[in-house]
A and B are shown apart, each in its own frame.
Chain A
Amino acid sequence: MILKKSKSLLNILSTVGLPVLFGALIYILWQTKVLHALFGTDEIILPLPDRIGSIISDNFTNMLPQIASTLIVALGGLVLGSLLGYFIGVAGAVFKKWGMGGLTIVSAFNAIPLVALAPVINNWTRDLSNQVDIRSTVAKIITVTIFCTASMSVNAYRGLTEVKPFSEDLFASYGSGKLKMFLKLRLPNSLPYVFTALRVSVPACVIGAVVSEYFAEQVVGVGRQIRENIVKGQFPTAWAYIAIACAMGILMYVILLIVESIVLKNRRAR
């Protein structure tokens, strides 16, 4: 019992402690300019962390609308992309004959680089509205949606089809119809796969939002601020927004892990 406890304590120490230690080490190397010497760069390109921190704390209220805009795009695209991906997975599982082929097409879409996709979608949505904020937001959300669809559709398809053969037989022997088998067996079976997909698409949706902002018509968002400030030579401010983008991605990932641990709790215990 005691051994087990100390073992789990050690576990927590290694999973939480090591990354924190590593982060602290990087911070110290950065602040003491060892990193600058290593990479042969200067404080203009790679400003010190305390300066980046002070820019964030000085301007946080001004940064909120930028963060909100990026969040709307990221979450909107994530939700739409995941739903769309899941529907495609369901369709693939229902119409098995060409399901895999359809998924290949979806995956091919995912291979289009984001930087190529974003300007094209900007052009598509230009006639949508004469309000730039509307058409620009829609364009960004569509970009993120496409970016988030593929991983969900492939994983959902696997979760819906890769059921244990004996459970399929069991359902069949009780004479349950296809719909019932779908609702009671396939859907629950796909849940862990959904989280696998989300682990990929949650960080991806932030990246997608940030990059789509580069090309958007409306000048707003964390990603846009990164680009504007880099081109204008304001590197400390650009780094402040980079730090915010990282924090957004990490925070959303942590929330996902917490939700996952709650939802899949019973499953794991079994």
Chain B
Amino acid sequence: MKNKRLLAAILAVCCTASALTACSNSSTSSTATDSSASEASSAEASSEATSEASSEAASGLMSNEEIIKKAASEGMVGNWGLGNEYEIQALLSKYGQPTDYVTMDFTMDQIDKDSITLASAMTYNELGLIKNSYDGGYSYGDEIGIIDMNDEGVAMLEDMLFCTKAFAEANPNTVKAFTSASMKGWVYACEHPDEAEEIVFKYGSSVSADHQKYMAGEVAKLVTTDTKGNSVPAANVGQMDDEAIQQTLDLAKKYIKIDDATAAAKLQELTLDDIRSKDYLTYDGGAVEKSDVKIQLKWLPQSQFMGYYVALDKGYYTEAGLNVEIVSGGGDVSETVAVNNGTVDFGVTWVSNLINANAGGMDLLEVAQVYQRSGLVLCYKKSMFTAQ
């Protein structure tokens, strides 16, 4: 009996304490904006939903601009941070909004529970989770609308292959052999996403088979479509589109905020030649200088990296005289650090992460651009942005 009473007392103290802090803070908070019904101007349709958009404009769905402004003014835009936020900040700036965002954890619970209304999602990962109804999915289906970074003109290129400049100069044939074998893997994976997904799953998967399959299909689209929506022929997989990388660099210079004056100055001086080289895309069969190489991924094993797993499984690396070990990422030792200090020879990262690392004093070099368009979108529940 007494036991219960004390527990109740403890709980009461806890509750009052937290309630007090909540009250004292809320007095300073601004009142929630309740935007009145606004006529949806013709919605800027995303490439995938062109046909839907016109009918939705009629049913009262707001335009991308209105959605972004509403969510930003309410502080309801989510992103993961840690270098994934620059495109979102560029988009918010485009519409004159402050660049603050709410940190998302690695689930879609926040948008599910409406604690944010505009959530960042990768087309091949989180977007599938929120829409689909397989294990781990949130089953929203077509209720989810998206704002595509490519269509909004703020695309920054993501997954690509890199090593250090010193490694590339000392082992040019190894880099060329590895790059071309990897791209061969990517071409095959994009032509046979279902088989690629099975290969990835065999090597250890962080997500369910259904989601892996969805991911493989979406990743193939990113590899074979550029920022403008044009398709990329198999021969050009891994090629670097200077215009798209330049846009990435320009946005990076604008939105990467560095406190360190030395690094900030270096960031502004970076040119395309400091971050990428096209010299290693083709391999003419010279003897490799180093045959045992490791590559660290940006995240856990999943179809996001299917090209490398296919190249390994199909023996493309062995054909090129390489003995390759794939190291999964996702820890706090980022791939840029691991490559820079020689723990691994190659890495997969986003272009903006490499720019950030080089500004900070590393000497990394992109050797192949795998994703030709941005896979980042902002997604929202249509019901939250439909004018009544």
- Tell whether, in the assembled complex, residue B17 and residue A62 are in contact, meaning their CB atoms are under 8 Å apart: no
Q: Are B25 and A134 in contact (CB under 8 A)?
A: yes
Binding stretch for chain A, among B98-106, B143-151, B216-224: B98-106
Q: Which of A145, A216, A232 has the most CB of B within 10 A?
A: A232
B362 and A127 contact, CB distance less than 8 A: no
Q: Is the CB of B259 within 8 A of A233?
A: no
**Cβ-based interface call for B336 (8 A):** yes
CA distance A126 to B108 in the complex (A): 13
- Residue from the list B258, B337, B353, B361 in contact with A43, Cβ < 8 A: B361
The contact of B75 among A76, A128, A132, A142, by CB within 8 Å, is A132
**How far, in whole Å, are A142 and B336 apart by their CA atoms in the complex?**
35
B25 CB contact (under 8 Å) in A45, A133, A230, A235:
A133
Identify A98's interface contact among B3, B74, B362, CB under 8 A.
B3
CB distance from A123 to the nearest CB of B (A): 7
In the assembled complex, which residues on chain B have CB atoms less than 8 Å from the CB atom of A122? Answer: 105
Residue in B17, B18, B260 whose CB lies within 8 Å of A55:
B260
A18-58 residues with Cβ-Cβ distance < 8 A to B are 41-45, 51, 54-55, 58
Q: Is B235 an interface residue (CB 8 A)?
A: no
Interface membership of B109, Cβ < 8 A:
yes
Tally of chain B residues near chain A (CB < 8 A): 50
* From A45, A54, A216, A217, contact of B341 by CB (8 A): A45
* Residue contact A217 to B260, C-beta cutoff 8 Å: no
Q: What sequence of 0s and 1s flags, for each residue 47-76 of chain B, a beta carbon within 8 Å of any chain A beta carbon?
A: 000000000000000000000000000111
B148 to chain A, nearest CB (A): 24
B88 to chain A, nearest CB (A): 12
**Which of A44, A58, A134 contacts B29, CB < 8 Å?**
A134
| Proximity bits, B148-169, A CB within 8 Å = 1, else 0 | 0000000000000000000000
B246 contacts the other chain (Cβ, under 8 Å)? no
> In angstroms, how far is the closest chain B Cβ from the Cβ of A149?
9
A123-B109, A137-B21 are contacts. A233–B115 as well, Cβ < 8 Å? no
Give the contacts of B1-38 with A (CB-CB under 8 A).
2-3, 6, 9-10, 13-14, 17-18, 21-22, 25-26, 29, 32
Q: Is A192 an interface residue (CB 8 A)?
A: no
Q: Are A230 and B332 in contact (CB under 8 A)?
A: yes
**Given that A55-B259, A127-B113, A127-B115 are known contacts, is A232 also in contact with B74, CB under 8 Å in the complex?**
no
| Interface residue? B356 (CB, 8 A) | yes
CA of A142 to CA of B359 in the docked complex: distance in angstroms? 38
A122 to B359 alpha-carbon distance, docked (Å): 33
Pick from B81, B115, B260: contact of A234, CB below 8 A.
B260
Q: List 19 A-B pairs, Cβ < 8 Å.
A: A44-B340, A44-B360, A55-B260, A55-B261, A58-B259, A58-B261, A97-B2, A98-B2, A123-B109, A125-B18, A126-B113, A127-B113, A131-B29, A134-B29, A216-B103, A217-B103, A219-B81, A231-B83, A237-B263
Which residues of B are at the interface with A, using a C-beta cutoff of 8 A? 2-3, 6, 9-10, 13-14, 17-18, 21-22, 25-26, 29, 32, 74-76, 81-83, 100-103, 105, 109-110, 113, 115, 256, 258-263, 332, 334, 336-337, 340-341, 353, 356-357, 359-362
- 16 further A-B contacts with Cβ under 8 Å, apart from A98-B2, A129-B25, A237-B260, are A44-B362, A84-B10, A84-B17, A95-B6, A102-B3, A102-B6, A126-B109, A134-B22, A134-B25, A141-B18, A215-B105, A216-B103, A217-B103, A218-B103, A234-B260, A234-B356
A interface list, Cβ under 8 A from B: 41-45, 51, 54-55, 58-59, 62-63, 76, 80, 83-84, 87-88, 91, 95, 97-98, 102, 119, 122-123, 125-135, 137-138, 141-142, 145, 215-219, 227-237, 240
